[in-house]
Amino acid sequence: MGAEKVGFFSYRTSTQWVICLLTTWFLLNILDIVSTYRAIWTGTGREANPLMALLIGAPLLLITLKMLLVFAAARLVERMEARRRYCGLTSLVVLNVYVALACANNLSVCLNG
């Protein structure tokens, strides 16, 4: 008996969406970091999150912490999706919209500042 190949399209549709949204979640958070630093470096913006503002002077620490939080959220969503179908999917849509709006604000500040 040969081993079966498991690929993206062998997952159920809701799981495929979760994978896509988790990838988007990760990329949006990277864009948030880059656009925040861009706004700060150009002098047109500042970090609005008071907790992250404490770490803005230590980029490596801030990036590490943010990526750990992203990973923790991804693990939580994975567990939610395993317990209740579409629960993780719904949560990821909300999280992605939130971070996308933050990124849009950062880019708007950079461009209009």
Asked whether residue 85 is assigned to any structural domain, the reply reads: yes
Number of domains in the chain: 1
Among 79, 57, 76, 58, which residue's Cα sits nearest to residue 68? 76
- Per-residue pLDDT reduced to its tens digit, 8-19: 667 677 778 888
pLDDT at 30: 95
Asked whether residue 81 is assigned to any structural domain, the reply reads: yes
CA atoms within 13 A on the CB side of 64: 5
In which band, very low, low, confident or very high, does the pLDDT at 5 lie, cut at 50, 70 and 90? low
Asked whether residue 6 is assigned to any structural domain, the reply reads: no
Asked whether residue 55 is assigned to any structural domain, the reply reads: yes
